Amino acid sequence: MKITIRERATGVILAAATDASQVFSFEGNWYFAPEAVNQAALKVTDDTYTCGYKGTCNWVSFDDGSRRAPQVAWIYQSPKAGYERIAGRYGFYAGDRSTTIEERE
């Protein structure tokens, strides 16, 4: 199955993967390996969120130079013990959201 995440307003692909080594579902969200993510259109911000069991993540914004959409994804650089699987991966909400659209093939 191919999973693609697009920025809603522009249709720009933010992440796309077909291989389980590049994307997996965890807690109802998609976690993409960095090589499956359009890093040129994404900017890791200084804005953080702290989850009581996973640790602290940084929010990731879409920025294509002409449009910016905040909080399209997140990344846990150093999650707490037991959550190492998500370290360094870009997390996206599954389904359609206010800033992103999920496509499955």
Q: What pLDDT shows up at residue 12?
A: 95
Q: How many domains does the chain have?
A: 1
Strand partners, 92: 30
Tens-binned pLDDT, residue by residue, of the chain (105 aa):
899 999 999 999 999 999 999 999 999 999 999 999 999 999 999 999 999 999 999 999 999 888 888 899 999 999 999 999 999 999 999 999 999 999 999
E strand or H helix that includes residue 45: strand 42-51
Whichever domain contains 58, its CATH number is 2.170.150.40
Contacts by 32-40 with C-beta closer than 8 Å and gap 24+? 32/5, 32/89, 32/90, 32/91, 32/92, 33/89, 34/88, 34/89, 34/90, 37/73, 37/90, 38/12, 38/13, 38/14
**Domain assignment of residue 16, given as a range:** 3-104
> Do 101 and 10 form a contact (C-beta atoms < 8 A)?
no
pTM (two decimals): 0.95
